[in-house]
Amino acid sequence: MNTTNPISTHDGTLESWRPMLELAAREVFEIMLGCKLEVQNDEPSLPGEFTAMVGLAGQLCGLLTLRCGSQSAALMASKMLGAEIKETDQQMWDAIGEIANMVAGNFKNKLSGMGEGCMLSVPTVITGSDYSCRSMADTAPLEVAFLFEGAPVVIALELHS
């Protein structure tokens, strides 16, 4: 189900990649978790308890983040593993890091030519909401807000030129 849609160039704004990012995330959740993500069109609330980050380097350089609450993270891990995962379980961190990794990989593989020249870092997961993050990206991030089982999940892409 790795549909590759040809986007050879983008129009200079990250916004043009929104449909690709939405599709990449939807596919990961449908295939690996058996769940449909709903796009949230309202101003997203920012769930900050869990932040999974995957770095992109090379032709596409920046950071993809996935933010969600602890209950959502536990539910994602449970859906992935097919077993109940508690909010204190280490597997929860591992699961959301892996989901962010798959969304980043699926996204870049959909961009024609980008898969070749873009490498992904291994994921990093931050817990807690009391932090600030200063990005070196030179454009505003592309943020896509979803509802996962009724709870907010925000996926953001920040790129360097």
Partner 1 sequence: MRKIRALIVDDSSVMRKIVERSIRQAGIDLAEVREAGNGAEALGALKESGADLVLCDINMPVMDGIEFLKQLQGVENAKGVPVVMITTEGSESHVVQALSIGARGYIRKPFTPEQVKEHVIPLLDDKK
Strands 38-39 and 61-68: what pairing?
Answer: unpaired
CB of 99 to partner 1, least distance (A): 9
The H or E element that residue 105 is part of is: helix 90-110
Greatest CA span in the chain, whole angstroms?
44
Beta bridge partners of 53: 65, 124
Q: Which stretch binds partner 1 (CB under 8 A): 13-21, 27-35, 134-142, 145-153?
A: 27-35
State which of residues 7, 23, 32, 126 lies at the interface with partner 1 (CB under 8 A). 32
* 3-state SS class at 133: coil
State which of residues 43, 122, 134, 136 lies at the interface with partner 1 (CB under 8 A). 122
The contact set with partner 1 (CB under 8 A) reads 1-2, 27-28, 31-32, 77, 80-82, 91, 94-95, 97-98, 101-102, 104-106, 109, 115-116, 118-120, 122
